[in-house]
Chains A and B, each alone.
Chain A
Amino acid sequence: MDFELMINSFPKLLNAAVVTLKLLSVSLIVGLFIGLLFAILRLNKNIFINKFAYGYSYVFRGTPLLVQIFIIYFGLGQIESLRSSFLWVILKEPYWCAIIAFALNTGAYTSEILRSAFQTIKPGIIEAGKSLGISNKIIFYKVQIPIAIRQSLPAYGNEIILMLKGTSLASTVTLMDLTGVAKYIISTTFKPIEVFIVAGGIYLFMTFIIHNLIKFLEKKYSY
């Protein structure tokens, strides 16, 4: 055991963990909006809209995240019209490519979580709202969404942790996140176990915090 290496690499890895957290938080926020949008589309009665939303979640949940990142980072640059458009400013950056891939991926899972939460809301609650003369729009925003969010908290907590682990793939498109830096230190020092313990420890600590945060929210919003 090389304790000196462990102590020396700790600040470097901690700095890299900030990159990981940034990637995670931005993609979760964007992904939540995408997920909510597609969950609503899934509940639409129009069969085409419904199928489109289903197709989106099926494709993104059925393929590895690595493929999605590679298509966006390596693949999209091949389209000539895209390279000359304003979008290229974003798409040439590995950081934004990773975030787009993560957001689309977590959006697909989130849409499934929210959809099932919407479907488990008892119809009686909506009927009660209707009989009180509240408009459908307000029922949706003030009744259905809050209940759905509460219902989906445990599953969404798992999704956050899966996404935290997913951000490690950013290292495959040259980003120096926690896994990227860990790999760099391993390949220069050839001490995989020590680095794994430190980097893995930081990941576990983050998982622990997220887990407890979700538990706290579940308790706070339980009814």
Chain B
Amino acid sequence: MELLAFGDTGWGDELFRATLMTIAVSITAMLIGFSFAAIFTPLKLSKFKFLNLIANIYTTVIRGVPELLVIYLFFFGGSGAIMFVASMFGYKDYIEINAFVTGSFAIGIISGAYSTEVFRGAIQSIDKGQFEAAKVLGFSKFKQFYKIVFPQMLRLAIPNLSNVWQITLKDTSLISVTGLVEIMRQSYIAAGSTRDPLFFYSFAAVLYLLLTFISMKLINKLEVKYGRGY
């Protein structure tokens, strides 16, 4: 237990901060994923075959390629790509992107592919009559989306989004390969310097279980809130 003490003697405070980092990366990645989903869900549902194709390539490639490979692409390719763009504007110095940004972006793109599929499924399962009724009542496209489609989509999407959240949360452990100090990386450091990997990795497992458990409870509350009247 002294291994978990707060302060200089133990790893308690480091692990606590690492847990906060995991939560921060997961939430950032989830939000980045939502913005990707906001772009690609309309493309998926569009009437134009070409736009469908673009969205399908995105979701198929990301969901068919290992997360670790995507992270390596961003880790090794990220600063190169930024430097290439910067060099076009005449900036020649070396640019290093922060591990947090690369990590959240890589996980965010993965999470976005899953979110896109969830939102697409949710919108498609909304009753057709709802769209027709909105049209008959003279709702504008914008109003139709915000007042009718969006609220129903949320209710239908929340159970599946909770799965996406769980996947995202667990995927953040892979960012440890880029050196960002989240739960996994901190456990790795602690295990290395105390020569007690069994304890620290098991403790990391407990922390992840705790995070998934708490988030499940919170999401269940949301589900009840948005499911009112059904």
Question: CB < 8 Å: which of A63, A66, A68, A207 contacts B64?
Answer: A207
Chain A positions within 8 Å of B209 at CB level: 58-59, 62-63
A70 cross-chain contacts in B, Cβ below 8 A: 184, 187-188, 197, 201, 204
Q: Does B196 contact A (CB under 8 A)?
A: yes
Decide if A187 touches B64 in the complex (CB within 8 Å): no
Given contacts A70-B201, A179-B68, A204-B60, contact A187 B212 (CB under 8 A): no
* B73 neighbours in A (Cβ, 8 Å): 192-193, 196
Segment of B5-13, B42-50, B88-96, B168-176 engaged in the interface with chain A:
B168-176
A76-B198, A192-B72, A192-B80 known; A203 vs B66 contact (CB < 8 Å): yes
Contact A183 B72 (CB under 8 A): yes
A67 engages B184 (CB within 8 Å): yes
**Interface stretch among A33-41, A85-93, A113-121, A167-175?**
A167-175
Inter-chain contacts of A66 with B (CB < 8 A): 173-174, 176, 184
Whether B184 pairs with A64 at a CB distance below 8 angstroms is: yes
Q: Is B61 an interface residue (CB 8 A)?
A: yes
Contact mask A163-194 → B, CB, 8 Å, 1/0?
A: 01111110110000001001100110010110
B198 touches A64 (CB 8 A): no
Are A203 and B77 CB-contacts (below 8 A) given A66-B173, A67-B205? no
Tell me if B208 and A172 are in contact (CB < 8 A). Answer: no
- Name the prevailing secondary structure of the B interface residues: helix
For A, the interface residue count at a CB cutoff of 8 angstroms equals: 41
Q: Establish whether residues B196 and A186, one from each chain, have CB atoms under 8 Å apart when the complex forms.
A: no
Closest to B62 in A: A200
A129 CA to B136 CA, complexed, in Å: 54
Interface: B226 (CB within 8 A)? no
20 additional contacts, CB 8 Å, given A71-B197, A71-B198? Answer: A62-B209, A67-B184, A67-B201, A67-B204, A71-B205, A74-B201, A75-B197, A79-B198, A169-B174, A187-B76, A190-B80, A192-B72, A193-B73, A193-B77, A196-B72, A196-B77, A199-B69, A200-B61, A200-B65, A204-B65
Binding site for B on A (CB under 8 A): 58-59, 62-68, 70-71, 74-79, 161, 164-169, 171-172, 179, 182-183, 186-187, 190, 192-193, 196, 199-200, 203-204, 207-208
Question: Can you identify 13 A-B contacts, CB atoms within 8 angstroms?
Answer: A62-B166, A62-B212, A64-B184, A64-B208, A74-B191, A165-B64, A172-B177, A187-B76, A190-B76, A196-B72, A199-B69, A200-B64, A203-B69
